[in-house]
Structure 1
Amino acid sequence: MATIDEHLRLVLARHRIDTSALSPVRGVQSVVEPTIRQWGGPYIVDIGPSGSFAKGTAVGGGTDIDIFVSLSSSVPDPLKTIYETLFTAFSNLGFQPRRQNVSIGLSVGGWKVDVTPGRRQDQYGNYHSLWRNKTGSWLQTNIKEHCRVVSGSGRLDEIRLIKIWRNRYGLSWPSFYLEMFVIDALRGARIGNLEANIITVLRATADTLATRRLIDPANTNNTLSETLDANDKFHVSQTARAGLNSPWNVVFQ
């Protein structure tokens, strides 16, 4: 019979996403890139993977790949216009895009894809401004800084397991908020101590999700813990509390 640690590692292996240079999902970029380049023209700075795929925290059942479109700071259009015209460009070519908070959702060859356009805040830096549909306002972000903080945290296995748990129970918990919560909850905990660390995270989720304040490391004006409302936080917390009292092979599959 497998130990709890062995079971968790089997679950991680079962939900692993290939993010290597030869990963089939990387081919999605070659499908959507011509549309993006035709739309953005000379203002395109870079197009590449971002989000969970780039950070090493992707799991089956979520978005298969996130693609970030970096635009020059010289783009004259307002952020909302940037978002809407890219949405229209995808729509005109039959991609059937979906409006999301800062990204545009697509289905490409069976893959779930999120494309996010952002305008650089200056000519050479990594800080970008995004249009945020939920609030009808702009948001500052730094994708490279997000990737550095998460991928270098030493908590990728714990983050991936909590995402697997979130997806299994259909919980609403934005990925970057979840990632930063796990990192914060495990501050000072031994790296690699998977069973104990997951218990720590579930306890923190049950007891402190409603009150723990987390700030975007790339934007002190963006409070990550405000991206989930009180009702959703309560539901996530209650599910974590139930998980602490349930068999591991039921909670993590």
Structure 2
Amino acid sequence: MTPNEYLYKLLDTYRARDLSLYSQDLANLKANLKSWAQTCYLSAANSGSYAKGTAISLSSDVDILVSLTNDCHRNDGGLKKCYESLETYLRKNYSGVRAQNVSIRINMNGLEVDVTPARKLSGNTNDHSIYTAKTGSYKQTNIQKHINDISSSGRTDEIRILKIWRHRNKLDIPSIYLEYLLVLDVLKGRSKSAEALEDNVMHVFNELAVGTSNPLLKKLIDPANSANELSSLMTAAEKQSVVLSARQAVQQTNWGAIVY
């Protein structure tokens, strides 16, 4: 088996779950989210890795963005109130609930779903404000632009392999940072052909393993909002863990020892 064959077999092994088996559960969830949001409700749509085509079975299965009106709780707690209200509602109605940085995760009949409340900015735009529990503040971004950029990048296979590697090495790399780091920086200008998968992934490892000119040391900005610095989503210690894991990867002679 060639390295490329091995990597594509791995992608098949960890392909995203078939959501058609959960269509009714997801429809019920979205109906419940509409009931929770009441007059603040605009929509509840699939977002994140599944919508981008970068989902793997090792991480959460579905991301749902609940779009709320611009004036929702603006004068009585703001986005923090939206986030906490959603968490309380989900804890009353679902199991396996876990509050995360911007989303609340639930377990729905074995399907893990991350639900993110977001307040839509006024005007004809897809820009939203999202509460960040880690900092107690909010950030403005455009989830639909992220979906469009990544899904049409021609790099979804490389991203999924790197996500499997991230999981196996227990690395704390936010998906949005990993995706844009690959799409906009490390693999810029390289071949997008299926035959280039092995070379491209190894190129990423080589770049992440260097001491100087490491892409992790560069400032990477969210294309959806110049005020969001994606590279600041990781601490220096977290980045160093990635460097060490990449160095171990480039020293291996068998792909089965790198990603599995």
Could you say which TM-score interval applies, normalised by the shorter chain? over 0.9
Shift of 1:73: 1.4
Unpaired segments of 5 or more residues in structure 1?
Answer: none
Shift of 1:185: 0.4
Q: Give me the whole-angstrom Cα distance separating, in 1, the residues matched to 2:159 and 2:116.
A: 22
CA contact (8 A) 2:15 2:56 kept: yes
Shift of 1:91: 1.5
SS of the residue 1:219 aligns to: coil
Of 230, 245, 256, which residue of structure 2 is paired with 1:249?
Answer: 256
Deviations 1:46-90 (A, max 9, x none): 111100010000011101100110111132341100111111111
- The amino acid of 1:242's aligned partner reads Q
- The amino acid of 2:224's aligned partner reads A
Q: Give me the whole-angstrom Cα distance separating, in 2, the residues matched to 1:25 and 1:229.
A: 37
- The amino acid of 1:212's aligned partner reads K
CA contact (8 A) 1:46 1:71 kept: yes
Q: 1:198 aligns to what?
A: 201
Q: Give me the whole-angstrom Cα distance separating, in 2, the residues matched to 1:14 and 1:232.
A: 28
- The amino acid of 1:3's aligned partner reads T
Q: RMSD of aligned C-alpha atoms? A: 1.5
Q: 2:117 aligns to what?
A: 117
Q: 2:166 aligns to what?
A: 166
Shift of 1:199: 1.0
CA contact (8 A) 1:90 1:96 kept: no
Q: Does 1:225 align with 2:231?
A: yes
Deviates more, 1:61-70 or 1:119-128: 119-128
Q: 2:5 aligns to what?
A: 6
Q: Give me the whole-angstrom Cα distance separating, in 2, the residues matched to 1:141 and 1:27.
A: 30
Change (3 A) 1:25 1:213: farther
- The amino acid of 2:95's aligned partner reads F
Change (3 A) 1:190 1:133: same
Shift of 1:28: 3.9
Q: 1:141 aligns to what?
A: 141
Of 212, 221, 224, which residue of structure 1 is paired with 2:218?
Answer: 212
Aligned residues: 250
Q: Give me the whole-angstrom Cα distance separating, in 2, the residues matched to 1:131 and 1:81.
A: 9
Q: 1:180 aligns to what?
A: 180
Q: Does 1:239 align with 2:225?
A: no
Shift of 1:18: 4.3
Deviates more, 1:179-188 or 1:71-80: 71-80
Change (3 A) 1:83 1:31: same
Q: Give me the whole-angstrom Cα distance separating, in 2, the residues matched to 1:71 and 1:95.
A: 24
SS of the residue 1:198 aligns to: helix
Shift of 1:94: 4.2
CA contact (8 A) 1:46 1:70 kept: yes
Q: Give me the whole-angstrom Cα distance separating, in 1, the residues matched to 2:71 and 2:138.
A: 17
CA contact (8 A) 1:29 1:67 kept: no
The TM-score, its normalising length taken from structure 2, stands at 0.92
Give percent identity, aligned residues only: 38
Q: 1:37 aligns to what?
A: 34
Deviations 1:146-173 (A, max 9, x none): 0011111110000000001111111111
SS of the residue 2:231 aligns to: helix
Q: Give me the whole-angstrom Cα distance separating, in 1, the residues matched to 2:178 and 2:60.
A: 15
Of 44, 68, 80, which residue of structure 1 is paired with 2:65?
Answer: 68
Q: 1:154 aligns to what?
A: 154
The TM-score, its normalising length taken from structure 1, stands at 0.94
Change (3 A) 1:80 1:172: same
